[in-house]
């Protein structure tokens, strides 16, 4: 009886496809923040196959898990550290 999230994969993929169409029409890349997916590589792979342009992740272990996916990956933690360094050097 712990909290859990149920993900309707078909609806999630349908939303990704529709969102991708909107983004593409405006020249915008569609990025996936994988937080709630908790390293679920199978689901991330399905989303990548259906139009996601970039994976955004803050956990290195998850980025390593996604290493074989042929897609741009952004490490939020690394980006945050760069922002802090830039701010401190002003």
Active site residues: 35
Residue 53: closest CA among 79, 37, 30, 76 = 30
* Residue 76, burial from CB neighbour count under 10 angstroms (0-12, 13-18, 19+): middle
Strands (E) across the chain are located at: 31-33, 54-57, 72-75
Angle at 25 between CA 20 and CA 26, to 5 degrees: 100
């Amino acid at each position: 009886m712990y909290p859990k999230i149920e993900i309707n994969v078909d609806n999630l993929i349908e939303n990704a496809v529709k969102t991708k169409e909107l983004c593409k029409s405006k020249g915008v890349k569609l990025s996936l923040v994988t937080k709630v997916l908790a390293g679920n590589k199978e689901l991330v792979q399905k989303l990548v196959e259906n139009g996601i342009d970039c994976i955004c992740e803050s956990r290195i272990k998850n980025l390593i898990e996604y290493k074989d996916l042929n897609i741009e990956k952004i490490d939020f933690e690394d980006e945050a550290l760069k922002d802090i360094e830039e701010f401190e050097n002003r």
